[in-house]
A and B are shown apart, each in its own frame.
Chain A
Amino acid sequence: MARTNRDYALLGRDARLAEKIGLVSAAWYHTEIPRKVMKDLMQRGDNPAIRDTIILFATMIGSAAAGIWLWPSWWSAPFWAIYGVLYASAMDSRWHECGHGTAFRTRWLNDAVYQIACFCMLRNPVVWRWSHARHHTDTIIVGHDPEIIAMRPAVVARLILNFFGLFELWGNGKAMVQLIFGYMPATTRSFVPASEQPKAFRIARIWGLIYLGTAALALWLGSILPFMVIGLPILFGSWHMVMTGYMQHLGLAENVLDHRLNSRTVYINPISRFIYWNMNYHVEHHMFPMVPYHALPRLHALIKHDLPPAHPSILSAYAEIIPALARQFRNPDWFVKRQLPPTAKPYRPEFHGDLEPGQPTPGIGGYPFSHAAE
């Protein structure tokens, strides 16, 4: 396996270099859309998200009730499977969309669903709001984006174990315990303002009490059943979030200022789109994060002439991702450079250095000034 020349640490060498060469908080490429059209796309409404939230919560309550009713029989398993995916995958997309504040027009609805989704995902609502803001400022900028899932070369065992929610549960659980005791690591403090940190501690302590209550109930019942409703679904329901999450950026370019180069749009089935809340339109979402999930198909239709062609299926996306990850074992600089249609504005080499995969490094090392900056 080749060693990577990247330093992914949030306060590391590449973080400083990226800043010096202008990759941080930079101006990104946007497809041109008339203001009137954009305004229309950005319009908020409560109805689509209220409808989806009623369906989601009703299905969660129904499947959990059936799971509890049939417990401990194996006949309860299909209901836990449904509940788990909604708890640990659909709630990921609700965390995401409500974190942006675009799901509902009414602010308290966004905030309420955001808090519920954060609790399910065991993601501190303060910390994760700020980490995601950074992900949008510096998407896949090495050393700055805290949400890079697969660092090059990828750790295969970790990528596989993610499907079972192990790192999600362990990492977020550990962070919660740290916050309960008033400790926030320096890397996290680098993107959470000091004024917001007390809120993070307070929420972690409330969650700690809820988990203590759940544990007490489990002990009293002599059963893990309460944890099947709270906490454990992360282990058996994260797979859908991971499957769709891997499609977002894996195998694509790092350290570029054009979402067409580092994000992927994939057409997926309607059930997955409900669970994922249309985040399969990922290039569109990153280019225009103010457009609500329900308007993304319309946005896609308007700008697809300027984007690499969308993958026709999940399988098609993985047919690109898996060979790219395999190739990155031999050459961590390798990435998939998706071809643009003739109707698109070309990529801008002046912003990205040499974009030819692997020749030389399309990462920070590929920028002519990076060595001087170091």
Chain B
Amino acid sequence: MPWITACSTDDIETEDLMRFDHAGRTFAIYRSPDDEFFCTDGHCTHERVHLADGLVMDYVVECPKHNGQFDYRTGEAVRAPVCVNLATFETRVEDGQVQILIP
């Protein structure tokens, strides 16, 4: 499986996220308060709403439509109305580029 370059580290502010589309799929790339990078599926598991318009608070992302929350490090659903965990993907930073591993 090849690593896919999603964005530059400077593209995302600390404690924020951005959308990344690749091969017909959509993802959310996060930059944590500790400047670590994470990647999850782009859509909320409750309804098909993109998380890129949501809010990152510490290690939680909140869906912009119904305020469901996930821990974006593990994908765990932590606040209703989300009940199903979010898929997560491995990330790494190479030469200032955020890369993700898509199975």
**A contact residues vs B (CB 8 Å cutoff):** 25, 38-39, 42-44, 100-102, 105, 107, 129-130, 133, 136-137, 193, 195-196, 288-290
Residues of B within 8 A of A288 (CB): 64
Binding stretch for chain A, among B1-9, B21-29, B33-41, B65-73? B65-73
A289 touches which of B47, B57, B66, B83 (Cβ 8 Å): B66
Query: Secondary structure of the B side of the interface?
Result: loop
Residues of A within 8 A of B66 (CB): 133, 136-137, 289
**B contact residues vs A (CB 8 Å cutoff):** 16, 46-48, 53-55, 57, 62, 64-67, 69, 79-81, 83
Q: Across the interface, do A289 and B55 meet the contact criterion of CB distance under 8 Å? A: no
Q: Across the interface, do B81 and A289 meet the contact criterion of CB distance under 8 Å? A: no
Q: Which residue of B lies closest to A135 (CB)?
A: B66
Residues of A within 8 A of B55 (CB): 39, 42-44, 290
Residues of A within 8 A of B62 (CB): 101, 290
B65 touches which of A39, A129, A289 (Cβ 8 Å): A289
Give B55 Cβ to nearest chain A Cβ, in Å. 5
A345 to B81, CA, bound (A): 32
Q: Across the interface, do B67 and A100 meet the contact criterion of CB distance under 8 Å? A: yes
Q: Across the interface, do B69 and A137 meet the contact criterion of CB distance under 8 Å? A: no
With A101-B69, A289-B66, A290-B55 in contact, is A137–B83 under 8 Å at CB?
Answer: no
With A290-B54, A290-B55 in contact, is A102–B81 under 8 Å at CB?
Answer: no
A130 to B66, CA, bound (A): 10
Residues of A within 8 A of B81 (CB): 129-130, 133
Give A122 Cβ to nearest chain B Cβ, in Å. 20
With A290-B55, A290-B62 in contact, is A107–B83 under 8 Å at CB?
Answer: no
Query: Secondary structure of the A side of the interface?
Result: helix
With A133-B66, A289-B67, A290-B62 in contact, is A39–B16 under 8 Å at CB?
Answer: yes
A101 to B67, CA, bound (A): 7
Residues of A within 8 A of B65 (CB): 136-137, 289
A195 touches which of B16, B48, B57, B83 (Cβ 8 Å): B83
What are 30 contact pairs spanning A and B, CB under 8 A?
A: A25-B47, A38-B53, A39-B16, A39-B55, A42-B55, A44-B55, A44-B57, A100-B67, A101-B67, A101-B69, A101-B79, A102-B67, A105-B57, A107-B79, A129-B80, A129-B81, A130-B80, A133-B46, A133-B66, A133-B81, A136-B66, A137-B65, A195-B83, A196-B80, A196-B83, A289-B64, A289-B66, A290-B54, A290-B55, A290-B67
Q: Across the interface, do B67 and A193 meet the contact criterion of CB distance under 8 Å? A: no
Residues of A within 8 A of B69 (CB): 101
Residues of B within 8 A of A101 (CB): 62, 67, 69, 79
A131 to B62, CA, bound (A): 19
Residues of A within 8 A of B48 (CB): 25
A290 to B55, CA, bound (A): 8
Q: Which residue of B lies closest to A25 (CB)?
A: B47
Q: Across the interface, do B83 and A193 meet the contact criterion of CB distance under 8 Å? A: yes
Residues of B within 8 A of A195 (CB): 83
A39 to B53, CA, bound (A): 9
Give A110 Cβ to nearest chain B Cβ, in Å. 9
Residues of B within 8 A of A289 (CB): 64-67
Residues of A within 8 A of B53 (CB): 38
Q: Across the interface, do A290 and B64 meet the contact criterion of CB distance under 8 Å? A: yes
A195 to B83, CA, bound (A): 8
